[in-house]
Amino acid sequence: MNRFMSFVTTAALLATLQAGAQMQLPGEQSSGMPAVPGPLAAKYKTDADRILTAAMADNDGYAALTYLCDHIGKRVSGSPQLNTAIEWGAELMKKAGLQNVKVQPVMVPHWVRGSESGEILTSGKGAVKKPLHMLGLGMSVGTPKEGITAQVVFVPSFQALDELTPEQVKGKIVLFNPGWHGYGVNSQYRTAGPSRAASKGAVAVLVRSATGLAMQTPHTGTLRYDEKQPKVPAAAVSVEDALMIERLAAEGPVQVHLQMDAHMEADVKAGNVMGEIVGSEHPEQVVVLGGHIDSWDVGQGAQDDGSGIMATFEAVSLIHKLGLKPKRTIRIVFWVNEENGGAGGRAYREMIGDKIGDQVAAFEMDGGAEKPLGIGYGGFGGPRRPAPPAPGAPAVAPPARGALDMTTLSAEEKQSFVYMQDIAALLKPIGTDTVSPGGGGSDIGPITADGVPALSPRTVGLHYFDWHHTEADTLDKVDPDDFKRNTAMLSVVAYVLADMDGRLVGRKSTFRE
């Protein structure tokens, strides 16, 4: 295929790009660049308006999400509910009339939480006897049957842990309570904290939930053990309980009891669910979009990521319902095992093999279906997740997924932004007409790292991390109109990318997880 497209560089474009570069902040936030209508907006106006009207009137997508949440529910890797969801998802695609519906077999880890509890026993001022609002972290080992009773050492940061002597940590439970610095920073205490504490002799770890909202709700999520360190049990506690332990620890020694049955069982066969609208002229070229079908073992996986798979599915389904026939193939994928392993994303990359150049664009929705603002375009590879901080290094905010320095763009890359701003103009009727640098997702990471242009919706992002990985991630959190706006946006962008003459470009990442 031809990746070298003609382009027009206008003073206005450069000014916009430079303004975008200046606006870009570390992390995921960006105010975005406005749409600039061009030839694509003119060519696809009629089709796009049909899609937008149909998407805003469509109730099938939200109805499917409702069924997934209420009748299948939470679906952690290895669970029977996940495999029920996979079978149901494939049926849904077939009923919608998609082609080449299949389940790509993928082996997934099977982590089992089992029963768990925690209690503050005593403080420096005597008995406390307060149950903890806790959730074991995904992939954690359990405690011995009788549990662990130990004194808590509170640390506000990795640096504070590094400054303690092994004698101060040995045999104790480390509590990380760094405050709230955004998900990028806080999630590092969850992923890397257990092994960092274990390296100093801790027997267990508690982590303040990675959220900005204190509603006595613990947030789980995966940890990543360093194989060189002893594996110690680790749990998230509610913000309130983390703060209480911190206050008590300032008064004197605090004893906590922790009991967790968590353990691993043998890997289970699951799979990536996929279906297509086969392209009329270039069937081998693929615009892929989707989200992840697994969730945590709490709540309903409604925002994370039921909303993502159902909005992307309905976006593709609507193109088919309207009888639109894009030149390239549009593929929907429900990736598996995003939450605790990423096996689905890796298996998809393996399936693509040396045909990676035929993946025209990858659009992942895994940030919830809050009110969308526009498209995040991280088409140029780049870091996706921070590496665990090295000993002595502070936890720092990671760069946005696929973030880029706008000033380093090549001519083709600038043309890609022109394309996206042109397409975004079609989204003006639903108010989602901005393009922001930085976008992508974990499941598409293995292909975007190899140069496939990455896209993701940008939303207001007000409450996603209030619900994320908790019992509260339930259907009622997904506003039907916001869901429809996401669906409408995804559908227009996927259709135009699959049908337009030009292509976006990507850049291979030098960074690997």
List residues binding Zn ion (CB under 5 A).
Answer: 304-305, 366
- Of residues 123 and 487, the one with the C-beta less far from Zn ion: 487
**Least gap, CB of 305 to Zn ion (angstroms):** 4
Angle, helices 307-321/480-499, rounded to nearest 10 degrees: 60
Kindly report the number of other CB atoms within 10 A of residue 70's CB atom: 12
- Of residues 366 and 466, the one with the C-beta less far from Zn ion: 366
- Of residues 366 and 413, the one with the C-beta less far from Zn ion: 366
Whether 246 is catalytic: no
**Least gap, CB of 304 to Zn ion (angstroms):** 4
- Of residues 147 and 344, the one with the C-beta less far from Zn ion: 344
DSSP H helices, 371-444, are: 411-424
Given 314, 338, 364, 370, which residue is catalytic? Answer: 338
Say how many CA atoms lie within 13 Å of 424 toward its Cβ. 27
CB 409 within 8 A of CB 504: no
- Of residues 241 and 338, the one with the C-beta less far from Zn ion: 338
Nearest alpha carbon to residue 196 among 148, 158, 167, 242 = 158
Q: Sheet holding 372-377: strands in order across? A: 33-34, 434-437, 372-377, 454-459, 359-364, 282-292, 328-335, 263-277, 99-112
**Least gap, CB of 442 to Zn ion (angstroms):** 7
**Least gap, CB of 368 to Zn ion (angstroms):** 9
**Least gap, CB of 365 to Zn ion (angstroms):** 9
CA distance 405 to 10: 19
**Least gap, CB of 338 to Zn ion (angstroms):** 6
Whether the link from the prior residue into 60 is cis, omega within 30° of 0, is: no
CA distance 218 to 208: 8
- Of residues 366 and 370, the one with the C-beta less far from Zn ion: 366
Nearest alpha carbon to residue 77 among 272, 261, 307 = 272
Angle, helices 45-57/480-499, rounded to nearest 10 degrees: 150
Task: Please give the positions annotated as active site.
Answer: 338
